[in-house]
Amino acid sequence: MLFNDIAIIDENLDYKEHQYVGVIDGVIDYIGAKAPVDSAKYGEVYEGEGKLLMAAFYNAHSHAPMTLLRGFAENLPLQAWLEQKCWPFEGKMVAEDNYWATLLAGAEMLRYGVVSFSDMYYHTPERAKAVADIGMKANLCTSPIAFEPKPIQEYPVFDEMEDGIANIDGMADGRIRFEGCIHAEYTNNDITAKSVFDWAKKNGARMHVHVSETKSEVEDCRNRHDGKSPVQWLESLGAFDVPAIAAHCVWVDDDDIAILAKHGVTVAHNPASNMKLSSGFAPIKKMIDAGVNVALGTDGMASNNNHDMFQDMYLMALLPKGNDLDPTCITPKEAVFAATRAGALAQGREDCGLLKEGFRADVCVLDVSGPSWCPVNDMLTNVVYAAHGSDVVLTLCDGEVVYREGAWPNIDIDRVKAEVVERTQRIQGELA
């Protein structure tokens, strides 16, 4: 595809008008102010009038099958939300439920310009099949909850972890990767957690874990572990000896932030979920200033209700200004970087997340001709504060069209929605 005379957000996150971008063999092959001399080799010409081309989004923390729980667990604090609503519902979910629910999550993400997500859940083979079928990318992990102090090798979930490394990691031409994971400190113990971290290191896998989401989580952890915070506890057991995503990090202090920066840990910031569950406001400006890679996540649909990364990008940029009483903190560039390049780096996808020659052609096109985009005093500010996921009209993953103007080439969206409704109703009936 050749994007003809289109506005772009370039590799430096600067706005440029009247550009030409050529995509071939899944790669961004050309970017310039003039049409390439060999334009014909790119095939379809996409006219850029009224459009904006930018790097697609990378969702750094999600629970894709929780689309089944959208609107199910409302107006509850985190522990009651988990124990009274989410875990009982999830206990009724079978493997095939996860396939259809992940398809729906993928369709929604593609609609909003997301091409890849880091997903923590169960029934990983079914989730991987869904990702492969719709042409997305994902870093998947199985989420052990282990209260009995024994090595992970003695838990049934270990077989799924071994299968993930052997058969899922590298699926779909490398678009799918498998990671190590524990759910959180408060749902695990020293022996099991350390065995998972050792397993990840042995297999060259990345890690994904919930960290310091609530104040009570941190206080209880310190009581259990001789004053250690969740970040300190994870470091002491080797969780950060491999590249890791620490989701949430709402209640981290300066010592914690220094540890995260030291080990190159990515913090997956989930502003919508943290607000909805009244967890608090993560000190992301402190993290960014300390050199922490802060990426952006939607979390699951029981604590956010949509996968619109534009919404989370808006909240990321807006909330710290009010919470810190500082209108200068979190610039539009920092917010866009978190939603794009930072998420790609969190997944170990070094050649992704920027509109740059030689990078993978993971891009989205926004229709910027509507009234909410006018005038353009600063396009990046408009992207962060005026845009909506509904402005996305085209999404490419590795150069392939995966969403275009209300259509998903690889998804029967009516069938997917019908399956999700039927399966949600079945589970709710079983819980009644």
- Residue 295 domain flag: yes
Q: Which two tokens stand for residue 93?
A: 């979910």
Q: What is the pLDDT of residue 154?
A: 97
Using a 10 angstrom Cβ sphere, with 0-12 exposed, 13-18 middle and 19 or more buried, the burial of residue 54 is buried
- Residue 426 domain flag: no
- Identify whether residues 333 and 361 lie together within a single domain: no
- Identify whether residues 171 and 78 lie together within a single domain: yes
- Residue 416 domain flag: no
Q: What is the pLDDT of residue 28?
A: 98
Instruction: List the one residue out of 127, 131, 107, 139 whose CA is nearest residue 352.
Output: 139
Instruction: List the one residue out of 307, 263, 242, 287 whose CA is nearest residue 110.
Output: 307
Q: Identify the residue whose tokens are 């929605």.
A: 417
Cβ count near 247 (within 10 Å):
26
Q: What is the CATH number of the domain that holds 270?
A: 3.20.20.140
Q: What is the pLDDT of residue 186?
A: 96
Q: How far is residue 213 from each of residues 61, 229, 372, measured CA to CA in Å?
A: 13, 12, 34
Q: What is the pLDDT of residue 79?
A: 85
Q: Which two tokens stand for residue 310?
A: 């534009």
Q: Which residues are registered as beta bridge partners of 9?
A: 15
Q: What is the CATH number of the domain that holds 381?
A: 2.30.40.10
- Identify whether residues 28 and 40 lie together within a single domain: yes
- Identify whether residues 45 and 166 lie together within a single domain: no
- Residue 30 domain flag: yes
| Phi then psi dihedrals of residue 358, to 5 deg | 90, -10
Q: Classify 62 in phi/psi space as left (phi over 0), alpha (psi -120 to 50) or beta.
A: beta
Cβ count near 22 (within 10 Å):
23
Q: Which two tokens stand for residue 427?
A: 């589970």
> End of a domain among 346, 367, 382?
346
- Identify whether residues 27 and 85 lie together within a single domain: no
- Residue 191 domain flag: yes
413-431 vs 95-111: helix axis angle to the nearest 10? 130
CA angle 365, 334, 302 (to 5 degrees): 75
Cβ count near 79 (within 10 Å):
13
- Identify whether residues 331 and 396 lie together within a single domain: no
CA angle 203, 204, 206 (to 5 degrees): 115
| Phi then psi dihedrals of residue 393, to 5 deg | -115, -10
User: Residues 6 or more apart from 348 whose CB is under 8 A from it?
Assistant: 139, 177, 206, 243
Query: Which runs of consecutive H residues, i.e. helices, occur in 7-143?
Result: 78-80, 87-90, 95-111, 124-134
Cα-Cα-Cα-Cα torsion 267, 273, 278, 279, nearest 10 degrees, comes to: -20
According to DSSP, residue 370 is labeled S
Q: What is the pLDDT of residue 147?
A: 95
- Identify whether residues 290 and 217 lie together within a single domain: yes
- Structural contact between residues 96 and 427, judged by C-beta atoms closer than 8 angstroms: no
Q: Identify the residue whose tokens are 């609107």.
A: 71
Three-state helix/strand/coil letters over 385-432: HCCCHHHEEEEEECCEEEEECCECCCCCHHHHHHHHHHHHHHHHHHHC
- Residue 128 domain flag: yes
Coil/strand/helix, residue 211: strand
- Residue 417 domain flag: no
- Residue 168 domain flag: yes
- Identify whether residues 116 and 13 lie together within a single domain: no
In tens digits, the chain (432 residues) has pLDDT values of: 999 999 999 999 999 999 999 999 999 999 999 999 999 999 999 999 999 999 999 999 999 999 999 999 899 888 888 899 999 999 999 999 999 999 999 999 999 999 999 999 999 999 999 999 999 999 999 999 999 999 999 999 999 999 999 999 999 999 999 999 999 999 999 999 999 999 999 999 999 999 999 999 999 999 999 999 999 999 999 999 999 999 999 999 999 999 999 999 999 999 999 999 999 999 999 999 999 999 999 999 999 999 999 999 999 999 999 999 999 999 999 999 999 999 999 999 999 999 999 999 999 999 999 999 999 999 999 999 999 999 999 999 999 999 999 999 999 999 999 999 999 999 999 998
CA angle 209, 345, 376 (to 5 degrees): 115
How do residues 130-161 score in pLDDT, each as one tens digit?
999 999 999 999 999 999 999 999 999 999 99
Q: Which two tokens stand for residue 173?
A: 């031409």
- Identify whether residues 109 and 230 lie together within a single domain: yes
Q: Which two tokens stand for residue 370?
A: 């509507």
Q: Which two tokens stand for residue 272?
A: 């919508």
**The domain containing residue 120 runs over which residues?**
57-346
Cis amide linkage into residue 375, ω under 30° from 0? yes
What is the DSSP code string of 5-49?
EEEEE-TTS-EEEEEEEEEETTEEEEEESS--TTGGGG-SEEE-T
- Identify whether residues 51 and 84 lie together within a single domain: no
- Identify whether residues 257 and 128 lie together within a single domain: yes
User: Residues 6 or more apart from 48 whose CB is under 8 A from it?
Assistant: 3, 4, 5, 6, 7, 19
- Identify whether residues 85 and 183 lie together within a single domain: yes
> What number of residues does the chain have?
432
Total domain count, the chain: 2
Residue type, 30: Y
Q: What is the pLDDT of residue 78?
A: 82
Distance CA 397, CA 174 (A): 12
Distance CA 287, CA 25 (A): 37
Distance CA 100, CA 416 (A): 6
Coil/strand/helix, residue 116: strand
